[in-house]
Amino acid sequence: MFYNMLAPLASDWTLFNVFRYITFRSLAALITALVVSILIGPRFIAWLHHVKCGQFIHEDVKNHAPKAGTPTMGGLLIMTSLGFSLLLWADLTNRYIWQVSLVFISFGLVGFCDDFLKLRRHKNRGISGGAKMSGQILVALAAMCLLYANPDYSSRLTVPFFKDINPDIGLLYLPFGAFVMVAASNAVNLTDGLDGLAIGPSIVALIVFSIFLYVTGNARFSTYLLVPYIPGVGEVTVFCSALVGAGLGFLWFNAYPAQVFMGDVGSLSIGGTLGYLALLCKQELVLAVVGGLFVVETLSVILQVGYFRWTGGKRIFRMAPLHHHFELKGVPESKIIIRFWITSILLGLVALSVLKLR
């Protein structure tokens, strides 16, 4: 709103020029979302308690018992502060801002239905796995159609560290892109099992993608760093920064011991959006590096379930996803969380090196 209202005044008052800069608005968007979520957080959590959004806790991990009744659906707090910040600082005429916001809201809606039913039904039963997956696929395919129809987006893949390898996968780019989004959405959801475990690495990935998006939307930087130039997409940096702010504000309350969980409304929306951001800056494969922690958590589940079926009941890990394995080995929750964060920061730095090493 500020961009659309104040930037045109720059011709009369040069001071208003700052509203044109993506960097200035990104910083402002981050601070706004962070402050808003910290300010409204306590009331919001009290409201979640009031409407009985307490989390059902499984009995198989004993040290989670004290978490019973912690309100879930904190993703709505992230959504509110993100929306407020975007309305103030984003260029509301930019199509990518609307696309990425729609992706965020639509994945969030699928998660909301699941959370809502889990709370209202007996024994934590949400929507069926099939219905949830269909919802995610539908949203992802719709988003991919928008990208595919956009002449600025090619169906070529960017391969990290190899500037000359750009395979064109043609129409397969549609299902491939949808897979990236759905996989990212579920991977973040699987990781969301300890306080701050999902939001920390998500923030790291968002910071990395905000840098990629800024470069991709800038003609000079993209030419210098040999990444595809896509006009207009740099504005999504403002979205990423606002989400970083909203995520940090959520972490304020989700930090161990958590006062609120994000719920599927938070994990599915953040994960699906991370997938879309990777597609928007044409760094689809870099997502597997920056989101390496999510990949490892998901692989631990695939391996565990596969091995369990193959051997008729044996396990590789004490329990999957991987964070439960460490918990059952007696590693304190806060230690697991911090170590996972450190790993994700390292992976974020490796992902950023893609910009220069090729």
Applying CB under 6 A, the residues found at the interface with ligand 57M are 55, 57-58, 60-61, 64, 67, 72, 189-190, 192-195, 254, 258, 261-264, 267, 301, 304-305, 308, 315, 319-321, 324
Residue 258 φ/ψ, nearest 5 degrees: -65, 140
C-beta of 99 vs 254, nearer to ligand 57M? 254
Q: How far is the CB of 50 from ligand 57M (least distance, A)?
A: 18
Q: How far is the CB of 240 from ligand 57M (least distance, A)?
A: 21
* Collapsed DSSP state (helix, strand, coil) of residue 54: strand
C-beta of 153 vs 340, nearer to ligand 57M? 340
C-beta of 210 vs 304, nearer to ligand 57M? 304
- Cα 194–Cα 213–Cα 146 angle in degrees, nearest 5: 90
Continuous H helices in 16-74: 22-50
C-beta of 156 vs 315, nearer to ligand 57M? 315
Q: How far is the CB of 116 from ligand 57M (least distance, A)?
A: 12
Q: How far is the CB of 262 from ligand 57M (least distance, A)?
A: 5
Residue with structure tokens 């005429």?
93
Q: How far is the CB of 335 from ligand 57M (least distance, A)?
A: 14
C-beta of 178 vs 194, nearer to ligand 57M? 194
**From residue 10, how far is each of 7, 14, 20, 86, 334 by CA, in Å?**
5, 5, 9, 21, 49
Q: How far is the CB of 121 from ligand 57M (least distance, A)?
A: 15
* Collapsed DSSP state (helix, strand, coil) of residue 278: helix
C-beta of 60 vs 164, nearer to ligand 57M? 60
Q: How far is the CB of 238 from ligand 57M (least distance, A)?
A: 26
Spell out the residues 6+ positions from residue 342 whose beta carbon is closer than 8 angstroms to its own: none
Distance CA 258, CA 318 (A): 24
C-beta of 235 vs 264, nearer to ligand 57M? 264
C-beta of 55 vs 210, nearer to ligand 57M? 55
Torsion of CA 132, 134, 135, 138, to 10 degrees: 160
Strand partners, 63: none
Q: How far is the CB of 267 from ligand 57M (least distance, A)?
A: 5
Continuous H helices in the chain: 2-6, 22-50, 75-89, 95-120, 129-148, 173-191, 199-216, 219-224, 236-254, 263-280, 286-290, 292-311, 322-328, 333-353
* CB of 48 closer than 8 Å to CB of 73: yes
- 226: tokens are 């040999």
Residue 189 φ/ψ, nearest 5 degrees: -60, -45
Q: How far is the CB of 45 from ligand 57M (least distance, A)?
A: 13
* CB of 228 closer than 8 Å to CB of 235: no
C-beta of 235 vs 297, nearer to ligand 57M? 297
C-beta of 137 vs 146, nearer to ligand 57M? 137
* CB of 294 closer than 8 Å to CB of 341: no
Q: How far is the CB of 144 from ligand 57M (least distance, A)?
A: 24
